[in-house]
Structure 1
Amino acid sequence: MPRPKEFDQEIALDKAMELFWQQGYERTSIQDLVEKTGVHRGSLYDTFGDKNQFFLTCLDRFRQVSNHRLFSILDEPGSPREGAFPFL
């Protein structure tokens, strides 16, 4: 029976997404991801696959977070334009 995950996948994805954003795909190593997320190498591979798959999963997470932020503006009081572009 496999052990349950001992880390929050969304937090690990957010940290990895930040690292990919700062360093780029090519300059980010698996060891960098291990250090940034605090997740053991084997657990990263078991959960997310190789670096390319991990990167693609981070892109999916970015899309989800961005969409959530964008659409949550529509639920806030006031003009959606003011919520999306407060500097205008």
Structure 2
Amino acid sequence: MMIYRGAGWMTLLTPIVMVLLLMWLLMDPSVKPGNISLMHFLMGVGIGSAINVVLGFVLNRQVHADGVHHHFFFMPMQWPALAIAVVCAVIALLK
């Protein structure tokens, strides 16, 4: 039994790609090379998760002919992505 179905794997992949993209685009001179500040990390994960929330709503909006639903940990992929985005926002606000 797999923890994802359909495009559910993107729930983890998109935030990782966004963090790597922000590391490349917004290099922080105060941080050692290869490291990333907490705010850049939270911003990357939050943006990647927000993309997945929208993508999950779009992909799970209609019933597919082959019966594939886009799930992550047996939930529609938008809900875990929304939880990740909320946690990132709360940590950023508390920091």
Q: TM-score range by the shorter chain?
A: 0.3 to 0.5
TM-score between both structures, scaled by the size of structure 1: 0.37
- Structure whose residues are more often helix by fraction: 1
Normalised by the length of structure 2, the TM-score is 0.35
Select the structure that is richer in strand: 2
Q: Which protein, 1 or 2, shows the higher relative CO under an 8 Å CA cutoff with sep ≥ 6?
A: 2
Larger radius of gyration: 1
